[in-house]
Structure 1
Amino acid sequence: MNLGSTETTADPLCNPFRNFMDLPMFTRFLLATVSLLFTQNTILAVQSPEQPPSRYSEPKFPKERLPMWKQVEEAIQKGLPKTAIEKLETIGQQALDQKAYPEAALALARKIRLQSDIQGGDPAEAILGLSKELQTAPDTMKPALHAILGHWYWSYFQSNRWQFQGRSELADENSQDLKTWSLQRIFREIDRQYSLSLADNESLKATPIQNFDPLLDPGTYPDSYRPTLYDFLAHQAIEFYASGEQAGVVRQDAFEIDAASAALGPTDEFLSWNPKTIDADSPKLKAIKLYQALLAFHAADESPDARLHCDLERIRFVTNNANGEEKAARTLGLLDSFAQKNPKHALSSVARARLAEIHVSQNDLEAAYDAALQGKNAFPDSIGGKLCHNLIESITAKAINVSTERVWNAPAPNIRVRYKNISTIHFRIVDADWIQRLTGQDRWRPDQFNEVDRQELFKKIPIKAWTSNLDPTTDYQEVTHDELAPVDLKPGYYFLLYSLNGQFTPENNQLGACELWVSKLGLILRPRNHFGIPELEDGFRGIEGLVVDNQSGEPIAGANVLCFARNNSNQLPNTPTSRVQTDATGIFRIPKIQNAALILVEHQADRLASQSETYVFDHQASAVNPLNVALFTDRAIYRPGQTIHFKGIATSSDRKTNRYEVVAGMKFTLQLQDPNGQIIENLDVASNDYGSFSGSMTAPRNRGTGTMILSIKDRPFSTAINVEEYKRP
């Protein structure tokens, strides 16, 4: 177990994304009061004075209406939503009169949310309310409202996605009841709203993003990366088109991005690329078209910020969605070319961070380190430089893990050390009291550590101590080192401690411990009545075990067996709840065990405890002839389009009579499900005279990749396979 670690990497960006390749480079957010629509039991989430400040700033309101906005917040905090609505109506009308459309849109959205809250807090009502208001809104205000409405639909789906899975299409396509919509219907509506928000693109391109400050909050990057309202709305739509949930509505002949195409080519090739497909509604295709429009829009900009940012995002999107053996190599080439062509731009460090991330995924840590170091040195204070810094910290972090056999005896076992970026490890062996360690705060079992152990056990005078010099790891890869354990320890209970520093102090260190026994005893346990069949188990209920000499295998008679069973408070006692001895054949029985128990065996100077707790269940007898089906596939991993050959064997069992047989003539329906749980293919089969059946299916080309499930319909039998693109070794 590891007790301390230096492998903690601070994230100076505080970003919410999981890895570097998935880090969108955004400049603006919808305000929290607009985008965070749905919360439990209420639509409007209000921050109390006691809560820490949000990372979202206050909207930038005109000075003359700032007091009115503060009155809105005060009314909400006092639980006076109707008063807040009245203030918002006044604000909205004044903003419309002054053509302050972003502020009017914010006032309208907040008013609708509050009205929905008063009516019961149903998000669907807020969506319907905004849809009605949109019909009479000024044209200049409509793009922002369409974007908000699309975001609200998207939020509704994400909060209720489980209700959409498997819901079939309705004949009445005009129904406004979201609770009856299928997955396809709500995705079409989200797509429609985002498309409408971009309809008047020339006007949007002429609208600086700063004009919508009241509706937006600053993001990670400066506005020059997305300088217009068109940029912001286009990237909002792309975020939807790029979402993983789109896999749930993929059509049979869906558009796929070929990694060998111009999608992963230089910018000029990408701009002139015209994908040929019959899937005109493909989200991937729409995202491609938007990236092409954005790059063409910014091609002649005086500042390269927006163009470079968009191109880097294009590379990320295509890499995440393309299929083909060339994908990794072409992505590496594009990112390297991007960084070399723009060495004086801060985004080159982001490109190098993504380069390094791909090298990490390919386990080429030396190349990853070199790329990250270049990015960090070029722009150390930029976001890309900090991403590169984090990667370097991860690659060069010291790591160590030690394992060994739990019971030491002759011949001496190995102590296995797995490590990287270190050259020395320090060991200590200290004795411990197994019974005393049965109890203790924050310790569930004797082998677990708490803070008291960290402070006391590692300061204990060791019985043995030594230092091992390890071969240096120059390529940042993990290495395994084996060394023989000491052979001159007395029988007993110990901990093998290890540390990166010789003082075994926790500061800037990794500490670990392995539980071990030095003993010649062997302990084999069998809980009885697990299946509840008295006719087979002579009526005995409890724990049965065998004690042997682990050198010769001979049974040991007269060994003392102590049982420590948990009490009704689920705590282990420090005194045994039962004591028995082994008979002449080394067997012992401990009856009437109600809770989980640990077993300790003593014989002469030797002792040994069970590694884990033993449970005795009072199960009912198994049903007669329960069906069981074992499924097998010819491989564990397939490429899209390859044939999946499977075989199954159907058996039945009667434990009471100890009768097991194959099941002939049983009909089954095999189903292949994609990673989203969607049925790809059904196949009817029947077992032959030997209880077996076989068949084949095709790994899909158009359902994405990942873990897929081959199962038997309406029965709990399945096996998993992986469908992945070929990755060059």
Structure 2
Amino acid sequence: MQKSITLLMTLFIFSIVANAQNNQPNNYEKDWESVEKLELQGLPKSALELVESIYKKATKSGNQPQIIKSLLYKSKFALTVEEEAQLNVINDLNKEIATTKFPVKNILESILADLYWQYFQQNRWKFYNRTHTDEKVDSTDFRTWDLETLFAETQLHYEKSLENALLLQQEPLTKYDALLVLAENSKKYRPTLYDLLANRVLDFLKTDERNLNKPAYKFEIDNLNFLADNEQFTKLEIASKDSTSQELLALKLYKNLTLFHQRDTNPDALVAVTLDRLQFVKNKAVFNDVTTVYLQTLNQLKEQFKNNEVVTQIYYQIASQLNLEADQYNPKNGEDNRWKRKEALAICEEAIAKFPSSFGAENCKALTSSILTENINITHENYVPINKKSRLLVSYKNVEKLYFNLYPISQKEYAEFNTIYNDSARIEFIKKLKIHKQWNADLRNENDYQQHTSEVVIPELNSGHYLIYTSTKEGLNKDNSYAYGFLQATDLVLVENDIQTQNLYQVVNRNTGQPVANASVRLKNDVDRYDKPFDRTFVTDSKGFFEFNNNDYYYNITATVTHKNDKAFFGDYYLNRNYNRTKQSYNEGRIFLFTDRSIYRPGQTVHFKGIAVAMKDNKSTVITDKKVFVNLQDVNYQVVQSLEFKTNEFGSFSGQFVLPSSGLTGNFSINASGNTGFLSKKMNGYASFSVEEYKRPKFEVSFLPITETFKIDDSVTVTGNAKAFAGSTITDAKVVYRVYRTPQFSEWYWYRRPQYNYEEMEITHGETITDADGNFSIDFKAIPDLSISKESLPIFNYRITVDVTDINGETRSTSAQVNVGYHMLNATVVTEFMLNKKEKNHKIMVTTTNLNGQPVAAKGLLSIYKLQSPEHVLRKRPWEAPDYQLLSKKEFKEYFPHDAYTNEDDLYNRTKGNVVFSADVNTDKTTEVTLKNISKWTS
């Protein structure tokens, strides 16, 4: 633990404190030079003594920067020479804070808060496993605190660092040149000590890990004006019952910074804090069209500051947002977002032309370079047939032509190449190989600056192992964009059979599936001094099999299979199923789950949050951008509801489950699972809570059935009622409601749905009261998700949750759902998957309902088509069909008759043939249709 604290302090000093600057008095310069020499000589105790004398001198003369600097170096050296130093460092900082005055006190408060926070980040795994206590286990030892206590202390010291804000705003940062190492021109954007300390607080408030438990009145950034220009934003009243919300505190601090810098004659600092605020709100907001409003405000700012070079930073933010949206482009979803990168490029070019030497222009130049950068990657099958054409998939950006070289490579050369990690050395290695074949391929580039895919044919190959190299220019040069891969040309396949009691293998022909007799198979492992050697040769029988018993375990087995002129290598076999195959201790993953309370009533909403963390070498780090699947299980371990999330930049995700209003009460649980991304390591999480009636309920809440059919953008009204079990009405009860939206798709469309965001989103919330009859109404607009195309026929599910509290303080909860879409009717056809032609009177069930599942009479025509079968049996594609196919369908089928050209291997994409049956349908009269003459249908 002391090692980790030492590292934190060292990092802090080297990121904040510089060696004494030239404007310092010579006596300090010489003193610090002596300290540095003693440190380099490995004499920390002597260095500490000298730092103590510097501290006394600085204190006596009132040199504030030198006081702070000496305190930090005292802490650094104390960590090296003292027992329990990590605790002593914190205690010494607390003592200094108690005795020092403004502004040193403020700086030390910020340093202390940062040390607490860094300590948590290094040890989050331990904190997540600790149980919350009502009191500190040891108020003087921060290492024993629980998570909430450490968070609270960290936030408290950050807040104290901003005390006497008006005085901090008058402290120029230039006064602390001896203390700070600052980025170029940073004083323009953070000119005062207040700016520096306030932004350190904001860095803490922006993290997600503080808000692990959601109160019932959680503060949400749901007001469009939080993304408004400064005039509108500073007029907002920012308040909430959720007074500890980090989002709330951050917005208040942004407001204070904005009001402070609105008085500046130079707009640099104002624009910097405005852009930071807009970015923060965009990332945290829960209202619709966040990015649209964000870009509108940025364009307003661009116009406001058009004559000042700081405007180029606004240009850069607009271009960055467009570049980010361009990442959402998917050719399967049409043209949406395809040309956003081109727009971003034009905006960058305008900024550079306007103020070419500005900070924003430099950022735009870097973004422009990123957009224009060439990128290539190749994917191919590891094994291809002998003397037959094969193909590879090229993923590329900004490339019009590729040049390919193919080199035979021995197993020894292959192993040697895999030990080379330097680009130049790899190129030099490849230059020594003998070229076997060369060709090139023209790619389709429409200058949308997007990643695209195409398939390129690989010529026929003799049996052997090959390195395939491709680049954007001819020749071997490390400055070219290039990609490479390894493949083997062989007709042999080694199949491992899953039999527990013995090792059973079979060699078959790759093209025909026929067994290969009399093939020689050598199994050998690569050994080090800890491994057991294994080297045996077998010959396959008439059915291509060989087997052997093995009572020991071996790993990293390579199989060399030889039959006539064909030789192939297969690797990574293990000869004991119970052996743990992971030699090294790779990142262990875990999901920590938190709920907003430990006990709930039936029908209530469970708000939960998860943090995905990986652990290696006693250090923890959050797992970002990974899918997580979350299940709610009841007392019988039955899954009640399932949700899917993706972890954000802080490794977190959050959501809610609505508990069943009826059924068994008791211990419920939330289970989360996912993949860490580290060698397919799994991560799991678990949290349990009780579902009980706190006391016998005196009233119930219910929604009236929703019979009306609504359209997109309609005003939807749902009505509920609170009624006592004794029969009386519940009047003047407080009703707190929330409305959430989730996109859904009909089952028939599910297999071909585009990739959209399916996470639940809150669209409104509010309060009302019950009337004299115990009734209440909730109105909301059926706002769609405009990112989902109308053509995909989405159904938007609006889930309404209510908590009704009577005058005695008893609360009852329930929920209702309304489905709204661009269409008004759903038709469902149900039949057997397999129909026996010899049997008669097969029936098809046809039902028609509105989007809320209520029966609606409809007339139509039911038609059954025979699907056209492909000419050949098709194997599954090794990768998805490319955006741009370079081969015509005729050429493709000539080379690869058993592969799908696009997606014709998918049953749902088969072409319709002749109609074999049709009948009129009227669901008002009957929902059954009898199939006739099925015996005459072609199988």
TM-score interval for Structure 1 and Structure 2 normalised by the shorter chain: 0.7 to 0.9
Partner of 1:416: 393
Partner of 2:201: 237
Partner amino acid for 1:598?
A: T
Task: Give yes or no for the alignment of 1:373 onto 2:331.
Answer: no
**Greater Cα offset, 108-117 or 145-154:** 108-117
CA contact (8 A) 2:554 2:575 kept: yes
CA contact (8 A) 1:61 1:103 kept: no
CA contact (8 A) 1:578 1:590 kept: no
Deviation at 1:261, TM superposition (A): 2.3
The runs of 5 or more residues in structure 1 that have no matched partner are 1-36, 532-536, 622-669, 688-692
Q: Deviations over 1:123-177 (max 9, x none)?
A: 2221212212322223454223322332333333333333322434433358222
Partner of 1:728: 787
Partner of 2:234, secondary structure, is helix
Partner of 1:499: 471
Distance in 1 of aligned mates of 2:308 and 2:487:
57
**Alpha carbons of structure 1 residues 293 and 135: separation in structure 2 relative to 1, 3 Å:** same
Partner of 1:292, secondary structure, is helix
Partner of 1:566: 526
Q: Deviations over 1:25-48 (max 9, x none)?
A: xxxxxxxxxxxx985658864999
Q: 1:278 is matched with which residue: 241, 249, 265?
A: 241
Distance in 1 of aligned mates of 2:293 and 2:343:
16
Q: Deviations over 1:367-404 (max 9, x none)?
A: 22223333333344443223222222222111222333
Partner of 1:465: 438
The runs of 5 or more residues in structure 2 that have no matched partner are 327-339, 581-605, 614-621, 623-628, 656-668, 674-681, 687-756, 762-784, 789-939
Partner of 2:266, secondary structure, is coil
Distance in 2 of aligned mates of 1:560 and 1:526:
18
Distance in 1 of aligned mates of 2:89 and 2:148:
21
Distance in 2 of aligned mates of 1:227 and 1:552:
75
**Greater Cα offset, 108-117 or 473-482:** 108-117
Partner amino acid for 2:122?
A: S
Partner of 1:5: none
Partner of 2:765: none
**Alpha carbons of structure 1 residues 297 and 469: separation in structure 2 relative to 1, 3 Å:** same
CA contact (8 A) 2:5 2:86 kept: no
Task: Give yes or no for the alignment of 1:171 onto 2:171.
Answer: no
Task: Give yes or no for the alignment of 1:586 onto 2:586.
Answer: no
CA contact (8 A) 1:672 1:680 kept: no
Deviation at 1:510, TM superposition (A): 3.0
Partner of 1:255: 219
Task: Give yes or no for the alignment of 1:597 onto 2:554.
Answer: no
Deviation at 1:524, TM superposition (A): 1.9
Q: 2:640 is matched with which residue: 695, 699, 724?
A: 695
CA contact (8 A) 1:95 1:101 kept: yes
Q: Equivalences for 1:288-437 in 2 at 5 Å?
A: 288-363=251-326, 364-405=340-381, 406-409=383-386, 412-434=389-411, 436-437=412-413
Partner amino acid for 1:566?
A: D
Deviation at 1:472, TM superposition (A): 2.1
Distance in 1 of aligned mates of 2:166 and 2:685:
53
CA contact (8 A) 2:20 2:29 kept: no
CA contact (8 A) 1:672 1:682 kept: no
Distance in 1 of aligned mates of 2:103 and 2:386:
82
**Alpha carbons of structure 1 residues 64 and 413: separation in structure 2 relative to 1, 3 Å:** closer
CA contact (8 A) 1:102 1:214 kept: yes
**Greater Cα offset, 417-426 or 153-162:** 153-162
Task: Give yes or no for the alignment of 1:613 onto 2:613.
Answer: no
Partner of 1:29: none
**Alpha carbons of structure 1 residues 166 and 378: separation in structure 2 relative to 1, 3 Å:** farther
Q: 2:116 is matched with which residue: 132, 153, 178?
A: 153
Partner of 1:521: 492
Distance in 1 of aligned mates of 2:433 and 2:48:
68
Distance in 2 of aligned mates of 1:179 and 1:220:
37
Partner of 1:220: 184
Partner amino acid for 2:635?
A: V
Deviation at 1:295, TM superposition (A): 1.4
Deviation at 1:557, TM superposition (A): 2.0
Q: 1:127 is matched with which residue: 67, 90, 113?
A: 90
Higher strand share: 2
Distance in 1 of aligned mates of 2:345 and 2:672:
49
Distance in 2 of aligned mates of 1:495 and 1:566:
22
Partner amino acid for 2:489?
A: V
CA contact (8 A) 1:429 1:494 kept: yes
Q: Equivalences for 1:531-570 in 2 at 5 Å?
A: 531=500, 537=501, 540=502, 542=503, 544-568=504-528
Distance in 2 of aligned mates of 1:673 and 1:454:
48
Distance in 2 of aligned mates of 1:54 and 1:172:
34
Distance in 2 of aligned mates of 1:408 and 1:429:
16
Partner amino acid for 1:496?
A: I
Partner amino acid for 1:366?
A: K
Partner of 1:235, secondary structure, is helix
Deviation at 1:323, TM superposition (A): 2.2
Deviation at 1:356, TM superposition (A): 2.3
Higher helix share: 1
Partner of 2:448: 475
Deviation at 1:328, TM superposition (A): 1.4
Partner of 1:247, secondary structure, is coil
- Give aligned-pair identity as a percent: 23
TM-score (norm 1): 0.73
CA contact (8 A) 1:257 1:322 kept: yes
CA contact (8 A) 1:711 1:717 kept: no
Would you say how many aligned residue pairs link Structure 1 and Structure 2?
Answer: 615
CA contact (8 A) 2:524 2:536 kept: yes
Deviation at 1:408, TM superposition (A): 2.4
Distance in 2 of aligned mates of 1:520 and 1:674:
49
Partner of 2:393, secondary structure, is strand
Note the aligned Cα RMSD (angstroms). Answer: 4.3
Partner of 2:262, secondary structure, is coil
**Alpha carbons of structure 1 residues 125 and 144: separation in structure 2 relative to 1, 3 Å:** same
Partner of 1:675: 611
Deviation at 1:315, TM superposition (A): 1.4
Partner of 2:588: none
Distance in 1 of aligned mates of 2:316 and 2:555:
53
Partner of 2:181, secondary structure, is strand
Partner amino acid for 1:580?
A: F
Identify which of structures 1 and 2 has the higher relative contact order when contacts are C-alpha pairs closer than 8 Å and 6+ apart.
Answer: 1
Deviation at 1:211, TM superposition (A): 2.3
Distance in 1 of aligned mates of 2:15 and 2:651:
41
**Alpha carbons of structure 1 residues 239 and 38: separation in structure 2 relative to 1, 3 Å:** farther
CA contact (8 A) 1:598 1:613 kept: yes
- Structure 1 runs, 4 residues or longer, greater than 6 Å off: 52-55, 448-453, 570-573, 677-682, 697-700, 719-722
Distance in 2 of aligned mates of 1:74 and 1:437:
49
Deviation at 1:430, TM superposition (A): 3.3
Deviation at 1:273, TM superposition (A): 0.9
Q: Deviations over 1:45-87 (max 9, x none)?
A: 4999xxx999945355333443334344445555555655554
Q: 2:62 is matched with which residue: 99, 103, 124?
A: 99
Deviation at 1:616, TM superposition (A): 0.5
Partner of 1:33: none
Distance in 1 of aligned mates of 2:52 and 2:509:
86
**Alpha carbons of structure 1 residues 183 and 40: separation in structure 2 relative to 1, 3 Å:** closer
TM-score (norm 2): 0.58
**Alpha carbons of structure 1 residues 224 and 431: separation in structure 2 relative to 1, 3 Å:** closer
Distance in 2 of aligned mates of 1:43 and 1:275:
35
Deviation at 1:268, TM superposition (A): 0.6
Deviation at 1:237, TM superposition (A): 1.8
Distance in 1 of aligned mates of 2:206 and 2:542:
71
Distance in 1 of aligned mates of 2:49 and 2:529:
57
**Alpha carbons of structure 1 residues 569 and 338: separation in structure 2 relative to 1, 3 Å:** farther
